[in-house]
Amino acid sequence: MHLLEALFLGLVQGLTEFLPISSSAHLRIVGVFLPSAEDPGAAFTAITQIGTEAAVVVFFWRDIVRIIKHWCLALVGRIPRNDPDARMGWLIIIGSIPIVLLGLLFQDQIETVFRSLWIVAIMLIVFGVLLGVADAVGAKRRKLQDLTVPHGVVYGFAQALALIPGVSRSGGTITAGLFMGYERAAAARYAFLLAIPAVFGSGFFQLVKSLDEPTVFSPGETLAATGVAFVVGLAVIAFFMKWISKKSFLPFVVYRILLGVTLLVLLGTGVIAA
């Protein structure tokens, strides 16, 4: 992978990670049309997501510090265990369990079979339709403080579906939240906080694993892509949180369906290979 290709992929990662359109799907698709004409791979994707997740940490820094502090204080009995921020700490831990277990269980499929462009196209369309339905029928009455353990588990399994490119980490979790009656901003906020352990865990796991496989990625190019993803992602997350406070997810639904259909046509006509 050349430096310019890596920088472009970092830009794509930053632009698409927080929008419910699947950053992993876009990296997979865009890679086919670059001069190298190769799939960037699950390792490259996971590592560059460290950059966008670092943007989440910066954007929600005060929330994260408060949650960690209150969780620790509640753990040693300094504050009530039902403190909202302490509860949120536990809910993030509980919601992270499904993606850890399923990620380890299906690691080989994630890096191979699930990256088929046929699967990517179908997931873009199916979960685009589900997002549209959830946004239309969801009550949007529940706030983040209404989050329960069962709902946190549902969020967790929805996030785990994002192991398949095309589903979208934010899209899957936000869709689940909307179906359960949460406000758009509340569903997105928890989705972003929930992603922190999973993305950092996956990214650093792939980074360490790839150190023994130098042909998997070029460290310099991947670091550059990760940096670009961080800067762009920070701007996008600010835009997205303002957008969903006033507007619907319809533009993203339409975009997903159009992209999925276009991809199916290109695959069906032999323009690109799966």
Mean pLDDT of the chain: 92
How many domains is the chain partitioned into structurally? 1
**Residue 65 lies inside a defined structural domain of this protein:** yes
What six digits make up the tokens of 5? Answer: 């290709």
Q: How buried is residue 33: exposed, middle or buried, by Cβ count under 10 Å (0-12/13-18/19+)? A: exposed
pLDDT for the residue 29 = 93
CA-to-CA separations, 100 to 121, 151, 155, 269, in angstroms, rounded? 25, 18, 13, 37
| pLDDT per residue as tens digits for the range 179-208 | 999 999 999 999 999 999 999 988 888 888
Q: Residue 154 sits in which domain range? A: 3-268
Over range 149-176, report the average pLDDT: 95
Instruction: With a cut of 90, say whether residue 36 has pLDDT above it.
Output: no
Instruction: With a cut of 90, say whether residue 165 has pLDDT above it.
Output: yes
**Residue 274 lies inside a defined structural domain of this protein:** no
pLDDT for the residue 117 = 95
Q: Are 84 and 254 in contact (CB under 8 A)?
A: no
CA separation for the pair 74, 76 (Å, rounded): 5
pLDDT for the residue 253 = 97
Instruction: With a cut of 70, say whether residue 215 has pLDDT above it.
Output: no
What six digits make up the tokens of 10? Answer: 């970092």
Residue of 132, 142, 144, 130 lying closest to 181 (CA atoms): 142
**Residue 105 lies inside a defined structural domain of this protein:** yes
Q: Are 99 and 160 in contact (CB under 8 A)?
A: yes
Choose the weakest-confidence range: 140-154, 162-176, 217-231: 217-231
Give Cα 37 distance to the centre of its chain.
24
pTM of the model: 0.91
Over range 234-253, report the average pLDDT: 93
Q: Is the CA virtual torsion 211, 212, 214, 217 positive or negative?
A: negative
Residue of 173, 176, 151 lying closest to 162 (CA atoms): 173
Q: Are 171 and 41 in contact (CB under 8 A)?
A: no
